[in-house]
């Protein structure tokens, strides 16, 4: 009962504490490159020639040159994107060519269009193919040599579905949600695996409610999970109060159905408070034991 009362009190205290937002660090506005769109899902067939494009925008204060090139899009054992390893699902790297590789003097406020062609061979395998097309800002070094100094790059991801015998299968491998935090923030980690031969999109919805049912935080993340790979989704409520009891829900959807749904009560309490409560409970237990002993002593005395 004491613990329940303490939890209720902490929930009330948490509602009174101010929530301080975290300010983002300012960005250098001299060289700012933006890509649009950032990805495309495209159905292709063996023998087909697909023509695509995307735009590079200069949102900074200075003009820049950039170049484009294609890399395989794979996923490593840590579930993050890799661009140097090849697999059966990155053969499209060799099918992709460009109308133009080098672009010059992109002025502030202006944009240039990058055009590419994917020439799918008739012998292309079934399932998915994945590449990333990079646009990279570069300049000659101060000595006028031909070496390249890289400032920044952005990537356009192309997800191709070549049809055939597609296997769409996946699972939620794990969802880690602790129910006790000794300091903010409340956080969670989900891991999703694709067991098929074509990519799918997973949506992870993370919701935090107060003890009064009011929604205090919602984070919806959408990730593309490539064949035979995994994705890790991290949620972090940066503005978590120091004290509080919260109802935390996780819902993960992919392949046209809800694959995982769970709700837990999560307690946030600082270490010093746990220590104080431990001392208080220990004292109460000590007092209770002493009273029991005193009563027993009184009963034995009266019998004599």
Closest CA to 232 of 199, 179, 194, 259: 194
Quote the mean pLDDT of the chain: 86
Cβ atoms of 82 and 93 closer than 8 Å: no
Question: What is the Rg, in whole angstroms, of the alpha carbon atoms belonging to the chain?
Answer: 29
Read off the tokens for 157. Answer: 């991801």
CA distance 129 to 45: 11
Per-residue pLDDT band for 260 (boundaries 50, 70, 90) equals very high
pTM over 0.85: no
Whether residue 295 is predicted with pLDDT greater than 90 in this model: the reply is no
pLDDT at 138: 73
Closest CA to 175 of 257, 245, 256, 261: 261
Read off the tokens for 154. Answer: 């952005």
- Is the preceding peptide bond at 185 cis, omega within 30 degrees of 0? yes
β-pair type (64-72, 128-140): antiparallel
Average pLDDT over residues 271-285: 73
pLDDT at 272: 67
pLDDT tens for residues 102-141? Answer: 999 999 999 999 999 999 999 999 999 999 999 999 765 4
CA distance 221 to 229: 18
Closest CA to 189 of 224, 220, 250, 235: 235
DSSP, collapsed to helix, strand or coil, labels residue 203 as strand
Q: What are phi and psi of 120, to 5 degrees?
A: -80, 120
Domains of the chain: 2-24+168-269 (2.60.40.10), 33-161 (2.60.40.10)
CA distance 187 to 181: 9
Average pLDDT over residues 169-185: 97
DSSP, collapsed to helix, strand or coil, labels residue 234 as strand
Average pLDDT over residues 270-276: 68
* Residue predicted with more confidence, 18 or 125: 125
pLDDT-wise least confident of 1-5, 118-122, 141-145, 161-165: 1-5
Whether residue 156 is predicted with pLDDT greater than 90 in this model: the reply is yes
What are the E-state strand segments in the chain? 33-36, 39-43, 49-58, 64-72, 74-75, 81-82, 96-98, 102-106, 111-119, 128-140, 148-161, 170-176, 180-181, 186-194, 200-209, 215-225, 230-237, 244-254, 257-268
CA distance 120 to 99: 17
> Between the CA of residue 207 and those of 180, 201, 218, 263, what are the distances in Å?
17, 20, 5, 9
């Amino acid at each position: 009962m004491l613990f329940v009362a303490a939890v209720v009190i902490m929930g009330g205290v948490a509602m009174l504490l101010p929530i301080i937002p975290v300010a983002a660090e300012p960005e250098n506005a001299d060289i700012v490159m933006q890509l649009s769109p950032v990805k495309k899902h495209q159905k292709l067939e063996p023998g087909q020639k697909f023509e695509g494009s995307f735009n590079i925008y200069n949102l900074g204060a200075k003009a820049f040159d950039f170049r484009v090139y294609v890399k395989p899009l794979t996923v490593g054992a840590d579930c993050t994107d890799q661009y140097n390893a090849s697999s059966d699902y990155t053969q499209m790297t060799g099918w992709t060519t460009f109308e133009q590789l080098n672009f010059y003097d992109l002025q502030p406020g202006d944009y240039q269009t990058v055009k590419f062609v994917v020439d799918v061979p008739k012998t292309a395998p079934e399932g998915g193919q994945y590449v990333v097309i990079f646009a990279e800002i570069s300049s000659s070094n101060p000595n006028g040599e031909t070496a390249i100094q890289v400032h920044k790059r952005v990537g356009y991801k192309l997800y191709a579905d070549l049809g055939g015998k597609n296997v769409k299968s996946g699972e939620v491998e794990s969802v880690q949600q602790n129910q006790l935090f000794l300091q903010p923030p409340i956080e969670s980690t989900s891991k999703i695996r694709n067991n098929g031969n074509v990519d799918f999109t997973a949506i992870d919805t993370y919701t935090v409610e107060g003890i009064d049912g009011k929604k205090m935080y919602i984070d919806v993340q959408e990730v593309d999970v490539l064949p035979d790979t995994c994705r890790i989704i991290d949620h972090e409520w940066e503005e978590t109060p120091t004290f509080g009891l919260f109802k935390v829900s996780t819902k993960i959807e992919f392949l046209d159905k809800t694959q995982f749904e769970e709700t837990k009560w999560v307690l946030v309490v600082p270490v010093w408070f746990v220590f104080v409560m431990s001392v208080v409970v220990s004292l109460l237990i000590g007092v209770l034991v002493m009273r029991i002993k005193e009563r027993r002593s009184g009963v034995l005395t009266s019998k004599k």
